[in-house]
Amino acid sequence: MVRKIGIITVFAAGALTLAACGGSSGSGGSSAASGSSTSSSSSAAAATDLASWDSPLGTIVVDDKAQTVYVFDKDTPGAASACTGTCVPLWPALTTTSSTPTVTGVTGMVGTAPTADGKQQVTLDGHRLYVFSGDSAAKQTNGQGFMGLWWAVAPDGTKVTGTASSGSSSAPSSSSGQPSYTY
């Protein structure tokens, strides 16, 4: 019973966080600066490497730690990130200190765009790239299709909208298709 309540609590907290994440993008990204420097440290490196991985979703892009890289449907190429406020710790920007990230097997146009806190976020075909805090290990795709807004990205820069096959390395899902976590 305690375990069920814990799962429900995690889903409720996640839903509130994602509601804020999927909310209005009119804030201009200024709230992204609060707390994002520590939450994105796992995705920052001296030179961010992007590579391709033949995953259960198909061939997708991963970062230098083999974490799946995602795009956000609410983002507009060339504009500030629509992931602000409470969205930032859940979906840290993939950042770099290099203006030309190193890539292997990625055919789309790789670049960078400034973040609200002055960092450089890696982009693929103009789309800002993120990692998912729910991917606790390399080669997981727990963020795929999250709230119908977050998608793994293919090496050519297109979003991958499929779901993982039964042999996926993803975490177990609830009946709603969202990742379920137990603590």
Query: Tokens 């960092």 — which residue?
Result: 119
Mode of pairing for the β-strands spanning 49-55 and 102-104: parallel
Q: What is the pLDDT of residue 21?
A: 52
For residues 155-177, average pLDDT = 64
Q: How many domains does the chain have?
A: 1
pTM exceeding 0.75: no
- Please report whether residue 45 resides in a domain: yes
Rounded to an integer, the average pLDDT of 146-160 is 97
Look at residue 90 and tell me if it is in a domain: yes
49 DSSP 8-state letter: E
46 domain residue, yes or no? yes
Per-residue model confidence (pLDDT) at position 27: 34
Beta strands in 7-108 (DSSP E): 49-55, 58-62, 70-72, 95-96, 102-104
At 115-143, the pLDDT tens digits run 999 999 999 999 999 999 999 999 999 99
Provide the domain limits for residue 88: 2-160
Would residue 7 count as lying in a domain?
A: yes
Average pLDDT, the chain: 75
Q: Does residue 111 fall inside a structural domain?
A: yes
Q: Which residue has the higher pLDDT, 43 or 95?
A: 95
Tell me, what's the pLDDT at 164?
A: 73
Q: Would you say residue 121 lies in a domain? A: yes
- Position 153 pLDDT exceeds 90: yes
Whether 171 is in a domain gets the answer no
What does the block give as tokens for 1? 């019973």
Q: How many C-beta neighbours within 10 Å does residue 57 have? A: 22
